[in-house]
């Protein structure tokens, strides 16, 4: 399906309409998206594969590192989808002094 004309057109439309990585934007960073990712795995089902609501633009890093780890369930449940720790007591989430 990735070689189909329908996918190539849809992929380009998504990148044109939403040119920045979804995960980076959540972090307040504007990184150009180069990959259109399926939010929920399609498992070869065309209805899910071509569903615009199931697509998100991602940068190379977030697609090939963060998203892949999430899909392989290697991400700790104590972290958000972008990899930040959920616990308020974690040093990352403590107020910065100075």
- The residue extents of the domains of the chain are 5-93
Lowest mean pLDDT among 19-33, 43-57, 74-88: 74-88
pLDDT in tens, 55-73: 999 999 888 877 766 666 6
Sign of CA dihedral 19, 23, 24, 26: positive
Closest CA to 7 of 46, 61, 60: 46
Residue 93 scores a pLDDT above 80: no
Rounded Cα distance, 10 and 16, in Å: 10
pLDDT given for residue 58 in this prediction: 94
**What is the reported pTM?**
0.68
Rounded Cα distance, 15 and 63, in Å: 14
Sign of CA dihedral 41, 32, 2, 7: positive
Tell me the range of 38-47, 59-68, 77-86 where mean pLDDT is highest.
38-47
């Amino acid at each position: 399906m990735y070689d189909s004309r329908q996918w190539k057109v849809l992929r380009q439309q998504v990148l044109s309409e939403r040119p920045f990585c979804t995960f980076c934007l959540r972090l307040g960073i504007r990184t150009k998206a180069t990959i259109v990712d399926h939010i929920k795995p399609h498992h070869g089902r065309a209805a899910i594969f071509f569903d615009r609501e199931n697509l998100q633009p991602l940068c190379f890093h977030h697609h090939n590192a963060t998203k892949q780890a999430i899909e392989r369930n290697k991400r700790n449940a104590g972290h958000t989808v972008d990899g930040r720790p959920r616990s308020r007591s974690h040093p990352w989430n403590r107020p910065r002094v100075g």
